[in-house]
Amino acid sequence: MKLSIVIPVYNEIKTIGEILHRVRVVDLSVTLGYGHQELTQVCLDREIVVVDDGSSDGTREYLGNLVNDPDMVIVFHDQNQGKGAAVRTGLKHASGDVLVIQDADLEYDPREYVNLLRPIVEGQSQVVYGSRFRGGPTRAMLFWHMMGNRFLTFVANLLYNSTLSDMETCYKLFTREVRDSLRLKAPRWGFDPEITAQILRAGYRIYEVPISYSGREFEDGKKISWRDGFVVLWTLIKYRL
């Protein structure tokens, strides 16, 4: 079994080297079995798919030096198209049996992959979200980001009869079958509600596991703003109607 790690990148020269290192060294061995059951270990292969979305801060040049690395697929957009477009390109080039989205900053810890993978390897679900609001250790996010996230997640639950706690999480992991069922179009911040709406409308149940989170500030390079919340809200309503 292979895990494809899809990393959309835009102007992340300060963190791209570190996040690639963390993704490369993380252990992808999933231990199965409980209580007195015999333990089984499943070791996954990894594929790293990086999509540079028109960076202008040196990220593009940094990635250009890695194009021949055997465990990496690197794709370049000629101009900035948005996170949704970058993820879509990454999913198109990924060859894994299971796929996960990884932001290029350091807010999310790749050591969480094993916890995200377990429900899929055990056959409990085909979609797993890593939730920042289910008790994992976190560095506090901005208050209004938290409130906006919870409001939009509430709207998603109301419209799609679900019980998610964190629709806007970066960590969305799903099987190749789910990927092939998606018809994604949103180029920018509409990606999260779009993929969630399509997954739920297709009848897949989303399994959530708690994850750690280390939020960053705008001065550190955080890009999403309150205005993007209107795009998210409209996308949820559009797919429901």
More confident residue, 198 or 186: 198
Question: What is the percentage of the chain residues whose pLDDT exceeds 90?
Answer: 69
221 in any annotated domain: no
Q: What is the mean pLDDT of the chain?
A: 89
Q: Which CATH number goes with the domain that contains 112?
A: 3.90.550.10
Q: Is residue 150 part of a domain?
A: no
Residue 230: the pLDDT is 76
Of the listed ranges 158-162, 201-205, 229-233, the least confidently predicted one is 229-233
- pLDDT tens-digit profile of 194-230? 999 999 999 999 999 999 998 755 455 445 655 666 7
On whether residue 30 sits in a domain, the answer given is yes
Q: pLDDT by residue (tens digit) across 30-81?
A: 988 776 566 788 899 999 999 999 999 999 999 999 999 999 999 999 999 9
Within a domain: 226: no
User: Nearest CA to 211 among 97, 133, 156, 106?
Assistant: 133
In a domain, 103, yes or no: yes
Both structure tokens of 222: 């955080």
Instruction: Give pTM, 2 decimals.
Output: 0.88
Evaluate whether residue 172 is within a structural domain.
yes
> What's the domain count of the chain?
1
pLDDT tens digits, one per residue of 123-152: 999 999 999 988 766 655 666 577 778 888
Neighbours of 215 (CB within 10 A): 16
Quickly tell me which residue has 């690395």 as its tokens.
69
Residue 29 in domain: yes
Residue 95 lies in a domain: yes
> Range of 8's domain?
2-140+166-185+204-216
